[in-house]
Amino acid sequence: MLKLRGWDLTALLNAAHPQAPLAERNLWLVRLVDWLRRAPIKDVRAGAQPAAASDTTPLPVRRLRHLLTLLERHPDHAQAFAGVMASVWAETDAISLFAEVGFAPRMALWGEFLGRLRRRLLPMTADTRDLAELFELLFHDERDADWINAIDDELLERLSLLFAGAPEGDWREEMRSAITVLVSAVRSAGLSGALRVRMDPKRLVSRPFRNLATAWERVEHSLEDGDPTHLPAQLQYLRALMDECRAAVASVPDHLEEHGVSVDLMFGVEQMQARLRRIEELLDCLLAAHPRRELLRLVSNLVQVVHERRSIRTLFGRHYSLLARKVAERSAETGEHYITRNREEYGDMLRRAGGGGVVIAGTTFAKFAIMAVGLSAFWGGFWAGVNYALSFVIIHLLHWTVATKQPAMTAPALAEKLRHIDSDAGLQSFVDEVAHLFRSQTAGIIGNLALAAPMVLSVQLLALLVFGRPLVDAKEADHVLHSLTVLGPTLVFAACTGVLLFLSSLIAGWVENWFVFFRLDSAIAWNPRIVALVGSNRAKRWAQWWRENISGLTANISLGLMLGLVPALLGFFGVPLEARHVTLSTGQLAAAAGALGTDVVKHWPFWSCVIGILGTGLLNVGVSFTLAFRVALRSRGIKLADRRRVRAAIWARIWSRPLSFFLPPRG
């Protein structure tokens, strides 16, 4: 930012030289606007009256009024001032200001991110012939739009003195050229395959993008010739085409909702809509009989666009919200399968969770075997991750379940119910869903633990009878008791594991969205080489299978690998972290009990581990559910305003029907 040191208005006016190099004149303009915004007025002696205490006029507007008064009283200063303004306008490219400010050169979100990052980190120069760059230097304060809008008609009339040296038609010619650039960009983007194939075909029947350039050329010729005869009809046709273009591009998100989301495409949609708005603004300036107010409004809008384009957080917050929503919705579709609402579904959940517990018992012994090999940290973590991932995939393919995977999937389904809590019936439906969800999660954990622990104990006992020693010996058992105790970092590790559970659901939703967006199921079903290799019917079955299982496979594989690799990778940086998964920890404790015998239950270390496992279960479930729930709320734009009313309804259900949170209804 340029800051004035010792510059007052008199010094600034004396430094105005129309014949100076362009860089010096540009810098002079920056200093002038900075004086309006920041520097104290030292030249009130020239005739300006101090502002009254009740005057709410912004300070830059009051200083601008003082500046114009001074110029009106000193013709020499006014002539030099007008000469600088006219020469800068003549030597800079104004088309870039009207046609490029606020728009990315390419329809790519990450390219725009790098451009914004460059603007934030690298200083800008006043030695430029690009009026867009100079504009950013002039109006670097985000509050500039406020005082520009506060300029009244009387001051606006006097402000025309600043442009007195410029020919009357110049800005109109530059503006027409800018509209030509914008129309070309809209036409090119609208006819590009990426957007065109995702627009509603009904919106493209009249070929609005193809005809847009021709319609503008006719309007431009009428404006240049000053012939008003055909101008109204031509403008009506041009604006009708722009409305059709706007409707066509507005249909793209509907297609993405059905067939997958792309942030680059959404960025392109927003850019096209913004260009259409800019064309309307420029047309308003060109067609106005007295365009000063429209020009001022345009400048104010350009200032706002400049500051919006500098914000990296706004860029990603806006464009990734739709992706987050689609990921959450796909998780919600999966999460519906994990919510039980009657006794039959509750019993099925117990059976499926029991099956998962059996597989986790085998996972426990496989983990001890990997630890016994004594691999390096990375390879030990890698094979542990493969072990977890393989176990989770087996559970998925057998249609069983692991309880801790449910919260991240069920949270978006629960968030959807919040849309309808305005009515009493909707609120009670939400409370019902909370009870269903809690009961389902409890059934999943009970089913997992009820079979995981007995299976591990049984294998330990069988090994003792057959081989004379358990598979997990006393030394490993002591290590388990030491690591799982509640007095250690177990609860912290459990919370971190909850974050990994949540991340696996995001990865699953993103991969499924990617699978749907690129129509890989259709490619599997109809690719000529695949059809020739496996046959038409089998290709269609495979396509359907992958469409139904891509999310589950991704969630299970990513979770397993993260549980094994994340602790190993963080260990390289000196960050101690271990996976604390409630079912796996229960299996490890059961193996330790099988190695140490029944006397272990008489001592505090065992019960300390039991308490630690209970806390692990709560944190695994609570952290993953909370994170997924917050993402679901934000992605849908839901604000839970009446929290007290929701809490009261849940507590009322707890007091009146506490068993509904644990047992399914009879009906």
pLDDT at 21: 94
Q: Report, as ranges of residue numbers, the positions in the chain whose pLDDT lies below 50.
A: 1-6, 41-50, 52-54, 166-169
Q: Please report the pLDDT score of residue 48 as a whole number.
A: 44
Residues 303, 353: one domain?
Answer: no
Residues 118 and 153 in one domain: yes
* Dist. CA 239–CA 200, nearest whole Å: 20
Instruction: Give how many domains the chain has, as a whole number.
Output: 2
580 inside domain: yes
- Quote the pLDDT of residue 6: 43
Phi-psi region of 42 (alpha: psi -120 to 50; beta: other; left: phi over 0): alpha
Q: Is the domain of 422 the same as that of 513?
A: yes
Residues 527 and 583 in one domain: yes
* Cα 214 from Cα 234, distance rounded (Å): 10
Closest-CA residue to 631 (of 388, 341, 387, 320): 320
- The pair of structure tokens assigned to 496 is 């971190």
Residues 280 and 427 in one domain: no
* Listed residues 310, 345, 367: the one ending a domain: 310
Q: Radius of gyration of the chain from Cα atoms?
A: 34
| pLDDT at 53 (0 to 100) | 42
How far apart CA 243 and CA 634 sit, in angstroms, is 31
Angstrom distance (rounded) from CA 114 to CA 130: 20
| Residues 261 and 153 reside in one and the same domain | yes
CA end-to-end span of the chain, whole Å?
A: 70
Is 427 in the same domain as 390? yes
226 and 354 inside one domain:
no
Q: Same structural domain for residues 15 and 116?
A: yes
Task: Quote the pLDDT of residue 49.
Answer: 47
In a domain, 327, yes or no: no
323 belongs to a structural domain: no
Last residue of a domain, one of 293, 310, 327: 310
Let me know whether 282 and 417 are in one domain: no
Classify residue 328: in a domain, yes or no. no
Tokens of 490: 């177990």
Ordered DSSP codes for 451-515: HHHHHHHHHHHHHHHHHSS-SS-HHHHHHHHHHH-TTTTHHHHHHHHHHHHHHHHHHHHHHHHHH
The answer to whether residue 657 is domain-embedded is yes
DSSP assignment letter at 107: S
3-state helix, strand, coil in the chain (%, to 5): 80, 0, 20
**Is the entire prediction scored with pTM above 0.85?**
no
Residues 263 and 371 in one domain: no
Asked if residue 315 is part of any domain, the answer here is: no
Q: Please identify, among 310, 345, 378, the residue that sits at the C-terminal boundary of a domain.
A: 310
Query: How many Cα atoms occupy the beta-carbon half-sphere of 287 within 13 Å?
Result: 15
Please, which contacts does 20-27 make with residues 24 or more away whose CB atoms are closer than 8 Å?
22/87, 22/88, 22/91, 22/92, 22/127, 22/129, 23/125, 23/126, 23/127, 23/128, 25/84, 25/87, 25/88, 26/88, 26/126, 26/127, 26/128, 26/134, 26/137, 27/2, 27/126
Sign of CA dihedral 69, 72, 77, 80: positive
Structural domain containing residue 604: 336-661
In the numeric block, which tokens belong to residue 608?
Answer: 């300390």
320 domain residue, yes or no: no
What values do phi and psi take at 450, rounded to 5?
A: -65, -25
Residue 3: inside a domain = no
278 and 390 share a domain?
Answer: no
